[in-house]
Structure 1
Amino acid sequence: MTIRRQPADFEVREKVSERFLAGLTALAGGREGHVVYEVSKMSVTTPEAAAALARALSLRPGQVAYGGLKDKHATTTQVMSVPAGALTAGPPERIEGERWSARLLGAGLEAVTACAIDGNRFRIVVRGLTMRDVREMGRRASLLRSEGTKEGPSTLLFVNYFGEQRFGSARHGKGWIARELIAGRFEEALRLSIGTPARKDTGVRRVFTRLAATHWGDWARLAREWPRCPERAAVEVLARTGDARRAFEALPYFQQEMPVDAYQSHLWNAAAGRVVESLVEPGARLSSADRSMVFAGCRGMPAAVREMGAVLPSPGMATGTLWGRTMLGVLSAEGLSPGDLRIPGLRRPEFGAGERALVAEAMGFVLGLPGADELDAGGRRLKRSVAFDLPRGAYATVLLRALGQ
């Protein structure tokens, strides 16, 4: 089972809240509020698209706001906003760029944030299927279905794991940056963040990760040869002071925060798997193809699982609940306690508190009929489309894992 064989196989459209859309008006030429664009992109990250929009409007990248990150290896549509007062001319109705475009929606009092987004609509083509895979997808969809029938739109329930997109450098087996931060090993955290090449690196990131891996520790040389990009500031601090903590603070804040979010997500996933295994009978469980995620069929899912609020691990988290006790066990296996979830010498980023539903709903789920996979060289494999809506923060790739990927 293969997804993202080509960008058109993975379509994502942001579902903007009615409240936010109702607040948009036609532009009146004022300097107050925010100008909102609908941005479509293909094989481009959200930060890259935001930076391109900023350049087109003669703004700084940090002046473009958006509600969430969309997949790079996909065709996606989302809203972004810029401060009306920062524009030096009237905003264009349409902007066309390389693999991205923007359409003016209007102006509003609010910048785009995650609160403006209700969820996402997905249409995904799954390729490389055998007839056995096709039957297994249908069987699993039936087990996960809580409402509707296989002939029409239905609702599936699945354990709301964080998807692999969340896990940064750890996806490549290089280790958790946040573990180095907790231990106060800022140079190693920096090396993992900006000096560790990954196969999918592109553009300027591919250049600087390979440069850093080759000459790590020669700060003067790195400062001379580092390309112009936001990460350059951290290397300049190292060349000037040798202080790795201050250098880490010089990284773009997004790049400081993501490793903490990634490690929190890893811990949350581990606790979620333990809870499902403890409350769901073995015969009612489903596993992903690689056995890394365990799910529950709808009929075998206890109310305690369906209704559980599962908090992110943080220094002040409650530990008296089933979830809290499970998280203590996960942290203990990592050699940690809740109080260890701090970064010495830094006020932020922090392991912030937050709650995430243990179970997510995939609404409007439609499983298409199988057909010949025209991209299969052997001509024997099949493809099948799936379409569904997910709430903000839930991962389509996780639902596909529940369906057997």
Structure 2
Amino acid sequence: MMKSEYPIETLLGMDYYVTETPGTGGILKKTPSDFVVGEIYGEIKMTGGPYLICELEKTNWDLQKAVKEISKVLGVSQRRIGWGGTKDKRAVTRQLISIYGVSEEDVEAIRIKDISLKVAGHANSQISLGDLKGNNFAITIRDIGTTDPAPILEEVSSASVAGKIPNYFGIQRFGATRPVTHLTGFDILKGDFREAVKTYVSFSCGNEPEETEIARKHYLDTEDVRETLAIMPNHLRYERAMLHHLIEEPGDYEGALKVTPPKLLSMFVSAAQSWLFNKALSRRLEAGGLDEPLVGDRLIFKGGREDIVTEDNIGTAKVHMRRGRCAPAIFMPGSEEFRPAGETDCYIGELLDESGITPESFGLAAEITGTAFRGALRAASIRTEMKYEVSGDSVGLEFSLPPGTYATTLSREIMKADPEKMV
């Protein structure tokens, strides 16, 4: 196991690599076509109904912006469009979406640069996260810094098949260039909506354009809404929307948060849960490898069954884990009562106590965001078969992952590069 040398990874709880080979270096997503993602679905019954199911392919488009543009062209509300998962922007992505109450002819007439829609059928329900079973990835890492990447690739491949790779939430979860979502989420959980707005508008990593940095610092120093809005760049639409609301409704910080899209608002809180998960996962790695159970570990099985490792069942747990039937898991706390089962759970409890966050905090957040945060169990490790091919100074990878698992978490074990090279 190796410790990450990158401060941003440490800040987000991604403390370790489990492989000890030097990284290949290189650049991920040098072009969008270097990162191709296709969704895997279960059975979707297309037996007719008001929802038009379409295959959406987009290149270098943020999903929220793509949905907004599609709804604008169709002349319908964005709320009529449903999807299973949010994909990377700088990529070629293929996924199903549902659109309520439009005709096939309307969709076939859409012409948007780098977006294509193909009608797949009609259904009685919209596409949602529950329909998504996983994602296929075809990735190219370019400009690698080693002439012999084979030993690196073989070690990561072996670790992946054995279920040793830590299932960290990737940097994208928190904001690739400005990891602020979890910080805003913690403010919401504490019920400090004024601070949540201030954090989102003013937080800076010092890597944005000068005019953006000036606007953020001005709000940090003064909290002057009008002056900040006057200098806030137009493309920062969510920051501007919050400031606009505060001009119209002075002091209504809860309302200012609610002008952001519902999915973004709920993402703030889920990012806070993700940060807790990453921190707990790094602590679990310090206790032992993810391919062997420890007493107190939570387990999640392929069918969804859960268990807790005890002195009595640890032998059976080892057999199940080696055969790929289950994985160690970490509970991300929410509104349901949290009862620690082992050392990792106790560590999460300590983090919650330090932050002053309780189950009631998640209940309050649910009222604000319209999303329930009951708590969830997430696998601590990644287990997949990874194919690879070396061509000159490039490496091609192919693998599949469950929903919510980040391809960049696997590629970081290979590259061990500056995170800016991987987003």
Q: Report TM bin, short chain.
A: 0.7 to 0.9
Looking at structure 2, the residues matched to 212 and 174 of structure 1 have their Cα atoms a distance apart, in angstroms, of 15
Equivalenced residues, count: 355
- 1:310 and 2:310 matched: no
Question: Percent of aligned positions with the same letter in both sequences?
Answer: 21
Moved more, 391-400 or 160-169: 160-169
Asked if 1:95 corresponds to 2:110, the answer is yes
Counterpart of 2:279 in structure 1 is 270
In structure 1, how many angstroms separate the alpha carbons of the residues matched to 2:243 and 2:249? 10
Which amino acid counterpart does residue 240 of structure 1 have in structure 2? E
Say which of 44, 48, 51 aligns to 2:68: 51
1:219 aligns with 2:236: no
**CA 1:39–1:112 in 2, change beyond 3 Å: closer, same or farther?**
same
Give the deviation of 1:63 after TM superposition. 1.8
Structure 2 distance, partners of 1:404, 1:225, is 39
Deviations 1:61-103 (A, max 9, x none): 222111111000111111111112xx37843336331121111
Q: Which residue of 1 aligns with 2:307?
A: none
* C-alpha contact 1:248 1:256 (8 A) present in aligned 2: yes
> 2:262 maps to what in 1?
253
CA deviation vs aligned residue, 1:314-348 (integer Å, no higher than 9, x gap): 2434323124223223435x444544744868723
The residue type equivalent to 1:236 in the other structure is H
Question: How far off is 1:165 after superposition?
Answer: 0.9
- Superposed, 1:28-39 pairs within 5 Å as 32-39=49-56
Structure 2: 5+ residue runs without aligned partners? 1-24, 293-316, 417-423
Out of 321, 346, 367, which is 2:388 matched to?
A: 367
Q: 2:123 aligns with which of 108, 113, 118?
A: 108
Structure 2 CA distance, aligned partners of 1:94 and 1:219? 42
Distance 1:61 1:212, change over 3 A: farther
RMSD (Å), alpha carbons: 3.6
TM-score normalized by the length of structure 1: 0.75
2: CA distance between counterparts of 1:390 and 1:3? 18
Structure 1 match to 2:138: 123
Where 1:36 maps in the other structure, the secondary structure is: strand
SS of the aligned residue for 1:393 comes to coil
Q: How does 1:5-404 map to 2 (within 5 A)?
A: 5-17=30-42, 19-20=43-44, 23-25=45-47, 32-84=49-101, 87=102, 90-93=105-108, 95-129=110-144, 130-146=146-162, 158-168=165-175, 171-172=178-179, 176-196=183-203, 214=218, 217-220=223-226, 233-243=241-251, 244-280=253-289, 307-322=327-342, 323-332=344-353, 334-336=354-356, 338-339=358-359, 341-342=361-362, 347-349=367-369, 351-363=373-385, 365-368=386-389, 370-372=390-392, 382-404=393-415
Q: Return the structure number with greater relative CO, CA threshold 8 A, min gap 6.
A: 2
Residues 348/272 of structure 1: CA separation in 2 closer, same or farther (3 Å cut): same
**Which deviates more from structure 2 when the two are superposed, residues 237-246 or residues 222-231?**
222-231
Which whole-Å CA distance do the structure 1 matches of 2:319 and 2:198 have between them? 45
- Cα deviations by residue, 1:259-313 (Å, 9 ceiling, x for unpaired): 1111110101111121232133999xxxxxxxxxxxxxxxxx9569753342212
- Quote how far apart the aligned CAs of 1:404 are: 4.5
CA-to-aligned-CA distance 1:359-403 (integer Å, 9 cap, x gap): 23324x2111x222xxxxxxxxx1110101111111111111233
The amino acid across from 2:328 in the alignment is M
CA distance in 2, matches of 1:54, 1:282: 46
- TM-score when scaled to structure 2? 0.72
Q: Which moved more, 1:245-254 or 1:107-116?
A: 245-254
Seen in structure 2, the aligned counterparts of structure 1 residues 261 and 6 have a Cα distance that, compared at 3 Å, is: same
Q: Do 2:181 and 2:200's aligned partners in 1 also have CA atoms closer than 8 Å? A: no
8 Å CA contact 2:182, 2:271 repeated in 1: no
User: Match for 1:178: what amino acid?
Assistant: G
In structure 2, how many angstroms separate the alpha carbons of the residues matched to 1:207 and 1:61? Answer: 31
**Residue range with higher mean Cα deviation, 315-324 or 47-56:** 315-324
The 1:273/1:222 distance shift into structure 2, 3 A limit, reads closer
CA distance in 1, matches of 2:92, 2:108: 21
Report Cα offsets for 1:85-134 as digits up to 9, x if no partner: xx378433363311211111111111010111111100001122213544
- How far did 1:242 drift? 1.7
Moved more, 229-238 or 317-326: 229-238
Is residue 242–residue 257 contact of structure 2 (8 Å, CA) maintained in 1?
yes
1:269–1:145: structure 2 CA closer, same or farther, 3 Å change rule?
Answer: same
* Contact 1:235–1:247 (8 Å) recurs in 2: yes
C-alpha deviation, 1:240, in angstroms = 2.7
Instruction: Report what 1:287 is aligned to.
Output: none
Give me the whole-angstrom Cα distance separating, in 1, the residues matched to 2:259 and 2:61.
25
Deviations 1:15-41 (A, max 9, x none): 122x11xx124x7xxxx4200111111
